[in-house]
Chains A and B, each alone.
Chain A
């Protein structure tokens, strides 16, 4: 059987590309990222040979799916990372205000405990009103050791003490909460660098939320520049299941997604797999 082929021209895919760019934007992929992805696809597709019975639409959708799969990556297996590293494994959580850092610390503590690992949490947000009380209640409920100082104390000192506790008690994992901070506040970013110098985390997890729009790109870039992150946690995916912010962030800093937060319960934390996002964007089941 002879398959008829034709060569894709820019004109053939223009409309489908525009529609897909709109889909990306409506899924909260940041504008420059959506544009870069569709530009990249155009370059890849124009001039390629296609079978006659394939519609331009299908070709473009397929290519987009591959492009997004590539951007999102395969995730990060935290449990095997911990099992293969010298203990304690120290993880610092950071990000802008209100994204879900403290809640994610609690959920991940619970998750790691259920995997048979021992955990200590450091109350590194000594700034925001009620922050220490918040993490204290979480840890009490989960039966997890918390190291905390007073409100207003130096966060580096608290986290240093947490690491010392873990060393003395042979605890497997240190989870360090920290205050929310904006990337354009130099003094707060300096404080974060100091925290990093003092506690020497093995991993820095950057926490952002699925409902964030274009700013997701800017702040991820800035945090990456200042503290260099190792993984991303995307929260509040239950609010906005399309999670285009995952694509914006992964594209911008190229770091693996580790977990998706999907609710306020302790079990509402899913180790990341690309299909969790892809299926939503493409409307698969």
Chain B
């Protein structure tokens, strides 16, 4: 078993199309089946995979084969375009003064990423501070404070205060001289109505410039419904995918992006404070399919048109 065999079969299916100058329905069918397998093994939502593969099949068969490229390059280009359509849009943000609200499931990496984002803005020359509005998890503020202290960034929290809105209010006052304020929140999930209400209230009070959903790269099919609920509650405008230094492929994040009509802002790829990267669609999609540098392949094909 294992994913290597899977991506190999995708490559094999691609190869079968390589020499062809006309589109062969059977070969496209086979390719789409292998593509489905690769996407499902990377945790892309089942329904999304079915929609995607229908679209790819239809386009591959309907669109005229451009002169100068072979069938394989034609289909590859369509696959790439469709995936870029889904996740390609990098979520925008600027280096202006702003407030950012962090949201996500328990253990997804919000607090760690809050620390990493402080580091990111600090490096860009902005004055940044963090508010620890997680009044639930034991040691949550100690965690955030430790991360911030290591990089000399001010933080505010009050482990004894139960009211998250009150913490945010006091935190904003304490950090009023900062350009950028990042608010870490407690983990919660779609079925916890009281906690969803809480973050709705924090959001209404804070009026943040951005509301970023932190998604673990290993998150599976649940990603879609979870993202939907967060989006309904506070309006997610960016996704951060954490733990991409493991072996998970991040397909759940793709569902979250589709559900929130947003884009991926950052990728977390390690436990230390500098392990944060801006999102790169090509790298993400190539990894999702286990296919190496797809963009280069597609560009090469496009040059010969």
A interface residues, Cβ below 8 angstroms from B: 22, 25-28, 30-32, 36, 96-100, 127-138, 141, 151, 182-184, 209, 211-219, 236, 238-240, 244-245, 264
Question: In the complex, which residue of chain A has the Cβ closest to the Cβ of B42?
Answer: A214
A213 contacts which of B43, B108, B136, B189 (Cβ < 8 Å)?
Answer: B43
B269 → chain A closest CB, angstroms: 11
A contact residues around B139 at 8 Å (CB): 130-137
B41 near A138 with CB under 8 A, answer no
Identify 13 residue pairs between A and B in the complex whose beta-carbon atoms are under 8 Å apart, listed by A's number.
A28-B220, A129-B143, A130-B140, A130-B142, A135-B138, A213-B220, A213-B251, A215-B247, A216-B220, A218-B247, A239-B105, A239-B106, A244-B220
CB pair B219 A97 closer than 8 Å: no
Q: A26-B221, A212-B220, A213-B252 are in contact. Are A31 and B143 (CB under 8 A)?
A: no
Chain B stretch 34-88: residues in CB contact (< 8 A) with chain A: 37, 40-43, 46
B108, B140, B222: the one within 8 Å of A98 (CB): B108
- B97 sits at the interface (CB 8 A): no
CB–CB A213/B248 < 8 A = yes
Knowing A130-B142, A245-B220 are in contact, say whether A211-B105 is a contact too (CB < 8 A): yes
Tell me if B's interface is mostly helix, strand, loop or mixed. loop
Contacts of B248 in A (CB 8 A): 212-215
What residues on B are CB-neighbors of A96 within 8 Å?
Answer: 218, 243, 246
Which of chain B's residues have a CB closer than 8 A to the CB of A134? 137-140, 142-143
Our pick among A32, A100, A129, A214 for the contact of B249 (Cβ within 8 Å) is A214
Nearest chain B CB to A81 CB, angstrom units: 28
In the complex, which residues 245-299 of chain B have their Cβ closer than 8 Å to any Cβ of chain A? 245-249, 251-252, 271
Which of B136, B143, B217 is most buried by chain A, counting CB atoms within 10 A of its CB? B143
Extra inter-chain contacts (17) besides given A130-B140, A217-B1, CB under 8 Å: A26-B46, A28-B222, A98-B109, A98-B243, A128-B143, A129-B143, A130-B111, A130-B139, A130-B143, A136-B139, A182-B245, A182-B246, A184-B245, A209-B107, A214-B3, A215-B248, A216-B218
